[in-house]
Amino acid sequence: PSLRFDVSRAAAFVAPHEIEYQAAAVRAAHDLLHGRRGPGAEFTGWLDLPERYDREEFRRIQEAAARIRSDSDALVVIGIGGSYLGARATVEALGHAFHNLLPKDRRPGPQIFFAGKDLSPVYLTHLFEVLEGKEVSVNVVSKSGTTTEPAIAFRIFREYLERRYGKEGARRRIYATTDRRRGILKQVADAEGYESFVIPDEVGGRYSVLTAVGLLPIAAAGIDIAQLMAGAASAMAEYAEPDLAQNPCYQYAAARHALYRKGRTTELLVTYEPALRSTAEWWKQLFGESEGKDGKGIFPASVEFTTDLHSMGQYIQDGLRNLFETVVQVERPRADIAISGGDAGDGLGFLEGQTLDHVNRMALAGTLLAHTDGGVPNLLLTLPELTPYHYGQMIYFFEKACAISGYLLGVNPFDQPGVEAYKQNMYALLGKPGFEARRAELERRLNG
């Protein structure tokens, strides 16, 4: 079974012909992408990755994951942005809601912690407290090898592991995922003899979850990565269809583009399942970094319902009408709870015999109609179940929709020139050699 995309709830805002009229533009975007002739074509390796991935490396990933499961209580994954979000999203979506809190014998893999995704000394200090008494492995993930946040975290963790296990012991507990040839991390990994995995040149950070970047931590957490890839491969085949009328992935790209052109400049990814919280973070990076450039782009945001119906719900129902929602619905939950207890005096007797999932589902249906009535177009993506297979399909659905959306918008969906600005300033303010003039200028501005 496939994912289902439904644009009909937005019909009051975008008529079917507004989507149909984009068929030629979508076809052109498809040809650019598949012909590898569009802007950023050198970063389209993700397009056929589910079919063309390196089987030998995949086997090594599974072996390393098995080793980590057998010799570690905790795996610390160090990375940021595209070198972090996909792994976290997938582990949380497909794992147990309280994975890290489960007793060891009931956990399918080690506890998973993330580091190098911020510069907070408090977070790291507390993480070390939690790691006390545990056997620890580290997976450092950085394509460039020079990103400040993970580079500092790795420096700290390397010292920590060498202190605890000795140089040789630490060597066996460090896994490096980085560029095939270039970069400082690659040099360090080679010099120290760490087991290394490759981020292919032609796959950018936010498109890298189905490479070793995501796969090693995901497999270590006990999730079936072969199924994840199989799902992505099925999506790759299904969404290779050039005809907009036959391709739900392209319909999503066309619908959001039509909405954007009519002033819907903020898209909210809506979920009704806490396990999908980090998926929304991954999605925001994918679309935000791909489209937000040249003074253009939909602003991607997210809400988690029903939680946020009690906070952001008011704005969505009644605030500025520049929004649309993309609801990710999961058809069959992995668990359900029957509501029993008869008339318990709490006024909820009418729910007797229903399940909690049914209530969640009615909340979704009711909200969809209320928000549509309130003037917010709703797009709906349905996953049959939150399994590795369907999640792999969803990853590919969003990746490809994002690329097509970028081409419809007339941007390069695969670069991120804007993320450099803060880094240059930070390096200068920290006194990095070569940044002296900029430092003087920034300090004058800050102190002036």
- Point out which residues bind ligand PA5 (CB under 6 A): 80-83, 142-144, 147, 150, 204-206, 289, 416
Residue whose CB is less far from ligand PA5, 205 or 388: 205
Q: Of the candidates 284, 291, 275, which has an alpha carbon nearest to the alpha carbon of residue 81? A: 284
CB 181 within 8 A of CB 20: no
Q: 């695969």: which residue's tokens?
A: 414
Size (the chain), residues: 448
Least Cβ distance, residue 204 to ligand PA5 (angstroms): 5
Q: Beta 299-304 vs 266-271: how paired, if at all?
A: parallel
Least Cβ distance, residue 106 to ligand PA5 (angstroms): 33
Least Cβ distance, residue 115 to ligand PA5 (angstroms): 13
383 φ, ψ to 5°?
A: -100, 130
d(CA 424, CA 50): 36
CB 368 within 8 A of CB 378: yes
C-alpha pair distances (Å), 31 with each of 45, 51, 89, 220: 15, 19, 30, 38
Residue whose CB is less far from ligand PA5, 144 or 265: 144
- Active-site position among 51, 159, 423, 443: 423
- Active-site position among 195, 267, 289, 399: 289
296 part of the active site: no
Angle, CA of 139, 291 and 238, to the nearest 5°: 75
- Torsion angle, CA of 182/38/294/46, rounded to 10 degrees? -50
Least Cβ distance, residue 141 to ligand PA5 (angstroms): 6
Angle, CA of 271, 272 and 276, to the nearest 5°: 55
Strand order, beta sheet including 299-304: 4-6, 378-385, 323-332, 266-271, 299-304
Residue whose CB is less far from ligand PA5, 142 or 251: 142
Least Cβ distance, residue 56 to ligand PA5 (angstroms): 22
Residue whose CB is less far from ligand PA5, 87 or 259: 87
Least Cβ distance, residue 76 to ligand PA5 (angstroms): 16
Residue whose CB is less far from ligand PA5, 143 or 400: 143
Q: How far is CA 164 from the centre of its chain?
A: 33
423 part of the active site: yes
Residue whose CB is less far from ligand PA5, 196 or 329: 196
Query: Which positions are annotated as active-site residues?
Result: 289, 423
